[in-house]
């Protein structure tokens, strides 16, 4: 049962060391976790290109996300975002701005992932509501933004910018992943029984090595191992390395 109320959380962004993958990053990292798809009190889909396979295999079911208190906190943030978008975006902007000020003071790069388990364009929303260009304003020059997305148009929109996006392969978007690879984008694919050296003619690298592999590699397949409920996938979302076509 999804709660119909919400409380404004003290923090929207979590430190990267709370996640086993982002903890491997060689940069200080932050990540925004909401609840995926329609797990909110208005049944609004926060993952508009979600397939049956990716919904069933969502990392919402892996790691800390399997605990009820973590799920409740993420649903609460989603309810806040959906019901009070202006204040949510304002709070998110202030948190990013504070991190950006620290990055300049300490003269270091910091990575921020705005979609831990959703697929929203927060970069555009911050520009729309707060007139801040996170990708070009000098105050944010030391921040590296990155995300996975299932939206090909979003990948095209931000390619060759400081927002590093990787298109997520699903069981129903083969044409999109081929288009993304042809114009130089990265694609993420989930495998079982190990990782192949190549997929569809493109090099496969270990995407689990850290959460930042997408910013250091271009035009590759980020190979991810099945986790959580993905281990039980039968939809075709997870590729079997032993029986690849």
Distance CA 85, CA 37 (A): 17
Average pLDDT over residues 94-106: 98
More confident residue, 16 or 237: 237
- Find the length of the chain: 245
pLDDT at position 22: 80
85-105 vs 68-83: helix axis angle to the nearest 10?
110
Per-residue pLDDT band at 92 (split at 50, 70, 90): very high
Average pLDDT over residues 35-48: 94
Q: Are strands 13-15 and 28-32 parallel, antiparallel or unpaired?
A: antiparallel
Distance CA 158, CA 167 (A): 12
pTM, whole model, 2 decimals?
0.92
What percent of the chain is helix, strand and coil (3-state, nearest 5)?
40, 20, 40
Chain mean pLDDT for the chain: 92
Average pLDDT over residues 66-72: 78
pLDDT at position 54: 85
Q: Is the Cβ–Cβ distance between 206 and 239 less than 8 Å?
A: no
**Is residue 63 predicted with pLDDT exceeding 80?**
no
Tokens describing residue 38: 């329609």
Q: Is the Cβ–Cβ distance between 205 and 213 less than 8 Å?
A: yes
Per-residue pLDDT band at 4 (split at 50, 70, 90): low
Task: Please name which of 87, 88, 80, 91 lies closest in space to residue 42, comparing C-alpha atoms.
Answer: 80
pLDDT at position 111: 97
Average pLDDT over residues 202-228: 94
Q: Are strands 143-149 and 13-15 parallel, antiparallel or unpaired?
A: unpaired
**Is residue 209 predicted with pLDDT exceeding 50?**
yes
Distance CA 116, CA 245 (A): 30
CA dist 70 → 33, 34, 113 (Å): 10, 10, 18
């Amino acid at each position: 049962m999804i709660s119909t109320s919400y409380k404004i959380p003290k923090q929207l962004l979590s430190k990267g060391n709370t996640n086993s993958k982002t903890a491997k990053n060689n940069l200080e990292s932050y990540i925004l976790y909401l609840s995926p798809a329609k797990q909110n009190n208005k049944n609004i889909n926060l993952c508009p290109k979600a397939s049956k396979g990716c919904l069933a295999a969502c990392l919402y079911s892996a790691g800390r996300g399997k605990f009820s208190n973590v799920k409740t906190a993420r649903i609460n943030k989603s309810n806040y975002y959906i019901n009070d978008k202006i204040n949510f975006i304002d709070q998110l902007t202030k948190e990013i701005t504070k991190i950006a000020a620290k990055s300049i003071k300490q003269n270091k790069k910091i990575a921020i992932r705005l979609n831990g388990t959703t697929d929203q364009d927060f970069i555009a929303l911050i520009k729309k509501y707060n007139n801040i260009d996170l990708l070009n304003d000098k105050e944010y020059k030391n921040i590296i933004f990155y995300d996975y997305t299932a939206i090909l148009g979003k990948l095209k929109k931000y390619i060759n910018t400081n927002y590093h996006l990787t298109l997520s392969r699903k069981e129903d978007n083969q044409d999109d992943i081929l288009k993304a690879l042809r114009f130089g984008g990265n694609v993420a694919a989930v495998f079982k029984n190990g990782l192949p050296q190549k997929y569809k003619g493109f090099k496969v690298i270990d995407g689990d090595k850290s959460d930042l592999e997408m910013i250091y590699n271009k035009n590759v397949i980020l190979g991810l191992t099945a986790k959580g409920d993905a281990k039980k996938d039968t939809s075709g979302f997870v590729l079997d390395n032993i029986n690849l076509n």
